[in-house]
Amino acid sequence: MILDPCAIEVHNDRLRGKHRRAFDFVSHEISHIEDILEKLQKFQIAIPSWALGTGGTRFGRFSGAGEPATLEQKIEDVGLLHALNRSSDAISLHIPWDIPKDANRLKQFASGLGIHFDAMNSNTFQDQQGQQHSYKFGSLHHVAPAVRQQAIDHNIEVIRYGEELGSKCLSVWLADGSSFPGQLNFRQAFQHTLSSLQEIYRHLPADWKLFVEYKAFEPYFYSTTIGDWGQSLLLTNKLGPKAFTLVDLGHHLPNANIEQIVSLLLMEGKLGGFHFNDSKYGDDDLTAGCMKPYQLFLIFSELIDGMDEKGIAHDSGLGWMIDASHNLKDPLVDLLQSVEAIKIAYAQALLIDRKSLREAQNQNDVVAAQEILQQAFRTDVRPLLAEARLRTGAALDPISLFRTLCIREKLVEERGRNSVATGL
C-alpha cells in the first residue's frame, strides 16, 4: 500500500491553524529555533524488519492481522511509516529471515519509497533448518572450532547480502552465555569470541562498520559472553577502528546509568549505534519513552554533548535504530509512538543551555545544573516536531492519520488476516 500524498495535505490543512498557535507559543522562547528544526528534519531512526510483525513472549504470540509476509511488504510498511512522519528512511534486515532474492530489484523498490538499507543483523541465536552444527551451547564462543567456523561463515554471508543492498554495517548480537556456574571457562569463551570476531572483521569492506552489541542476561541466566559495555569495548578496541560498541537500552541490569556509559564510549570514539526501546524490569522491549522518558532525555543530553565535542554529525555519525517488540499494540502505530518519543527526547536535549550548564558544573552549583536540565525537559517540544514534519511533507499527527485512513484495515484487505511476518 502506498500513501496518497493528497491525504496528508487534507489532513494537514485541517490541523494547520491549531498547530500554528501551539508552535508560535513555544517557539517564541527559543533563540535557535531554526537550527533545531533543521536538525529534527534530518534526524532519522531506522526500523528493524522484525519489529513490523507481532512480537511474542516465551509464553505465546497473539498474531495481528495483515502482517507483512514478504520482504517487499516489510519495506512497504517502513515506506508507510516514512510517508507519515518522514523520520524513518531506512530498514534494518535480519538474515536468514530477510534473504534478498533479487537485491537490485529490492534496492530499486526501496529507493522508490525513499528507503535505504541500514545495518545488517546476523542470527546465531537460533538453529536453522538443515544447519550442520547446533548453537545450543553458543556460536562465536563455542568450544568446538567447527561450530565457531559455521557462525563466522554465516556472518560473512550476511556482509555479502548487505553489500548487494548498499548497507554499510554489520550488527552482531550473540546469545552466547551460560546458565550454570562452572559451565564455561570465561576467559576461553572470551578469547574464542574475539578470534571469531577478528575473522569476521577481516571480511568487512573498507567503508563498513562492525557493531558489537552487549546484553547482561537472557537467554542464558548466569553469564553472557559479551555481557556489558566493558566487555564490548574490550573487543572493539582489540578488533580495530571499524569496530564499535552498540548500546541497546534494554540490555542493562536494572538502574544502570546508561547516560554515563554513552558519554564515556563517545569520549573513546567507540560508540557506534543505538537500539531504542524502554523497559521496567529487564529487556522488556517496550515503546521508547513509555516508562522512563527522563532517562531517554538524559541519554540524548550526553549524546549531543559528546557528539558536538567530537564534531560528529547527529544524523549520520551514529546508527539510530528501534529494537522493540509489539505484543499488544499495532506494530506500525507503536513504531510511530517510539519515533515520536525518541525525537521528543532529542529536541528537549537540543534545548539545554550548554554554556550555563558548564558554568554551573564548574562552580559546583548543583541546584542550577538541575534547573537547567529540567527547564529543557519540561518544555513541550511536540509542536517543534510537528513543524519539522510539516516542512518535510509529513503528517502533523501521524497516528490520527493512520487511524483516519484505516491503514491497518486496508493492509488486512490486501494481505489477508492470517499473513505472518518472519521473526521472533
Angle, alpha carbons 362-31-345 (nearest 5°): 70
Let me know: does 383 contact 22? Beta carbons within 8 Å: yes
Nearer to Mn ion, 245 or 348 (CB): 245
Calpha distance 305→263 (Å, rounded): 8
Least spacing, CB of residue 126 vs Mn ion, in Å: 15
Q: How far is the CB of 327 from Mn ion (least distance, A)?
A: 17
CB of 277 to Mn ion, least distance (A): 8
- How does DSSP classify residue 240? -
- Per CB under 5 A, 215 contacts Mn ion: no
Q: Are 415 and 70 in contact (CB under 8 A)?
A: no
CB of 247 to Mn ion, least distance (A): 9
> How many C-beta atoms lie closer than 10 Å to residue 343's C-beta?
26
Residue with Cβ nearer Mn ion (68 or 319): 319
Rg (CA), the chain: 22
Q: Which of 323, 330, 334, 387 binds Mn ion (CB under 5 A)?
A: 323
Whether the CB-CB separation of 332 and 1 falls below 8 Å is answered with: no
Nearer to Mn ion, 125 or 294 (CB): 125
Single-letter amino acid code for the residue at 58: R
Given candidates 39, 275, 314, 343, which one binds Mn ion under the rule CB under 5 A? 275
Peptide bond before residue 219 is cis, with ω within 30 degrees of 0: yes
Q: Is 387 in the site for Mn ion (CB under 5 A)?
A: no
Q: Which amino acid is at 167?
A: S
Closer by beta carbon to Mn ion, 43 or else 214: 214
Please choose, out of 274-282, 297-305, 341-349, 401-409, the segment that lies near Mn ion by the rule CB under 5 A: 274-282
**Least Cβ distance, residue 335 to Mn ion (angstroms):** 15
Stretch that binds Mn ion, among 42-50, 159-167, 275-283, 343-351 (CB under 5 A): 275-283
Nearer to Mn ion, 278 or 323 (CB): 323
Helical H segments across 311-353, by residue range: 331-350
Shortest Cβ 125–Mn ion spacing (Å): 11
Does position 278 bind Mn ion by CB under 5 A? no
Q: How many residues bind Mn ion, per CB under 5 A?
A: 3
- 248 lines the binding site for Mn ion (CB under 5 A): yes
Residue 271: burial class (beta carbons within 10 Å; 0-12, 13-18, 19+): buried
> What's the CA gap between 3 and 80, in Å, rounded?
7
Alpha helices for 114-184 (secondary structure H): 145-165
Nearest residue to 66 via CA among 400, 420, 423: 420
Query: Cβ closer to Mn ion: 118 or 397?
Result: 118
- Report the nearest approach of Mn ion to the CB of residue 235 (Å): 16
Q: Which residues bind Mn ion (CB under 5 A)?
A: 248, 275, 323
